[in-house]
Amino acid sequence: MAMDAGEIERLIREGIPDCEVRIEDLRGDGDHYAAYVTSASFEGKTRIEQHKMVFEALQGKMDEELHALAIQTSLPK
């Protein structure tokens, strides 16, 4: 069961309130997305910790339901 981009974006925004997030549907099949998440709260955190913040925002959907979500985290310029 795929998730739609709006749902992913909403969850990430709720989980990381100050973030900017852009979702890209990589293949147009509703099952392969990329999420570009920029947030000041990533400051001082390792990539693993940053990605875990995104996983937590997705409330466990990151495993089977959301098979293919590439994640790119970054700090605000």
Partner 1 sequence: MENVIFDRIKKDISENDVVLYMKGNAAFPQCGFSSLAVQVLSQLGVQFKDINVLEEAEMRQGIKDFTDWPTIPQLYVKGEFVGGSDIIREMYEAGELQQLLADKGVQAA
Alpha-carbon distance of 64 to 58, in angstroms, equals 12
Which range touches partner 1 (CB under 8 A), out of 5-13, 17-25, 37-45, 55-63?
55-63
Retrieve residue 23's tokens. Answer: 């979702």
Least distance CB 41 / partner 1 (angstroms): 18
Amino acid letter, 55: F
43 touches partner 1 by CB under 8 A: no
36 touches partner 1 by CB under 8 A: no
CB closer to partner 1 out of 13 and 32: 32
22 touches partner 1 by CB under 8 A: no
Q: Which of 15, 4, 1, 5 is nearest to 51 (CA)?
A: 15
